[in-house]
Chains A and B, each alone.
Chain A
């Protein structure tokens, strides 16, 4: 038997290193018909905000070479709806349920995190700091080390369980942001969120998305994500969770080698809804083939 469990610190222990990415896995139960969701290390639900959000107008999606752009705009029914209508449906899962929290001000993040803190069956919060701070002229929390530290520090004071902070790749030096959130009390960091991109319909001379620009995800972003995971895992002491373009077990192993302690599957869930189960089985197979009996021995073991 190979040992697959990984510990991300502050009581977040995963039965295996496979998680799913926020916004690509709904609330988990949408995948019940395709595989046993509880078999994963855990899953991260759709971004939740304090108030309900309608998101952006259509069109919100465009396919690009080996990837896709989205401009969903964090549509969700708000934290109260989540607590009363969705949370009860998550109690049946025996693995780690992680709630992705977004906001447009520090106060929003804190209020949402305080509400999530009351839910016993939520193992951790993943703080999405790739959002614009409306009180600071819309500058992204995650693109400025001080603002990133400020929001993490404020949430840390109201949330004692595991706090994973999700980083945006749309910065010059991602390690500066990673170090800032580590100092502010993050238990782990996950990366990457989507890369800012754009697609144009030349015939119609129009942008493909209602918002003109949007977030790129899928296999196209994998090399960027791997590079950033590699850099960040050398810059901080807290565990790193890697994601961006993972579509199969080999991709996942590459992230573990680069220093990630766990991985998240995102866009690939749209293409094959059973991808996370396939990735998990494939990681186990890889470990066996390489005579590694503990996945922790693989993490960060890139030979350079």
Chain B
């Protein structure tokens, strides 16, 4: 897959919840091939106090309309600056990067698990799985109802099960406490694909580990280059230290030292 560095024009920037922005940019005359779970390295064209780019998952991509979207949590200076961009502004983008979720290993009933902003890459994943004939099911967890993102949009695509830490929506507890993870229900799924905070991904993996189902997780580590050259982003695996940016970010949990 060819990688690009391009200044993409912002089409819209919408707040989808407190601290979360949906940013849509135009890929205009380039025709990238994008797999769900891949990411981009972003920075604003006008310099900010931050030197390095920030890795952000590709949330959605419409190749016909040439629209690429990101779902961004405004945590620090760089994400705030990116989310302040207005239509017509440029977003300096290096993409698509990394290996996405393996569509060929998803099977016909994959369970997509998202925690917080970890739902970001699951939109394109759900859409592509459906267009391949699969019937995904989503399980989303968040601290509280206001941090559940794009539930309506996902619900239009497939069934969505919800948990919140405070019980404000769905079951009270972690996403891994959902009845879906009971051995009897879990066995109806062909694979599990997860993106979210590491403790949540580990909890999900613990529930899946006793089954024969493959569990794929999208890891987050500190990245400098995003293209496999700096070796800053490694995670410890059965094969030693591997780069999250190019050997991942999606890994089968069996290959990790979890």
Interface residues, chain A, with chain B CB atoms under 8 Å away? 23-26, 30-31, 33-34, 46, 54-55, 57-63, 65-68, 70, 72, 75, 218-219, 267, 269-274
Contacts and interface: CB of A to CB of B under 8 A. Distances in A.
A55 B51 contact: no
Is the contact region of chain A dominated by helix, strand, or loop, or is it mixed?
loop
B51 A59 contact: no
Interface of B: 2-5, 43, 49-53, 92, 94, 221-236, 240-241
Contacts of A274: 5
B2 A55 contact: no
Tell me if B's interface is mostly helix, strand, loop or mixed: loop
B225 A269 contact: yes
Given A33-B3, A267-B224, A271-B51, 7 more contacts: A30-B229, A31-B227, A34-B5, A46-B231, A58-B221, A59-B221, A75-B231
Contacts of B43: 271
A30 B227 contact: yes
Contact of A68 (B51, B235, B241): B51
Given A24-B230, A270-B52, A55 B224 contact: no
Contacts of A58: 221-222, 233-236
A46 B230 CA distance: 9
A66 B50 CA distance: 7
A273 B232 contact: no
B228 A30 contact: yes
Nearest to A35: B5
B230 A72 contact: yes
23 contacts: A26-B227, A26-B229, A30-B228, A31-B229, A55-B241, A58-B236, A60-B231, A60-B233, A61-B223, A61-B232, A65-B49, A66-B51, A67-B51, A70-B224, A219-B51, A270-B53, A270-B225, A270-B229, A271-B52, A272-B5, A273-B5, A273-B94, A274-B5
A72 B5 contact: no
A70 B5 contact: no
A270 B231 contact: no
A62 B224 CA distance: 9
Contact of B224 (A54, A57, A270): A270
B8 to A, nearest CB: 15
A269 B241 CA distance: 22
Given A26-B229, A61-B232, A273-B94, A54 B51 contact: no
B54 to A, nearest CB: 10
| Residue in B49, B240, B241 with the greatest tally of chain A CB atoms within 10 Å | B241
A269 B43 CA distance: 14
Contacts of B232: 60-61, 70, 72
Contact of A273 (B49, B223, B227): B227
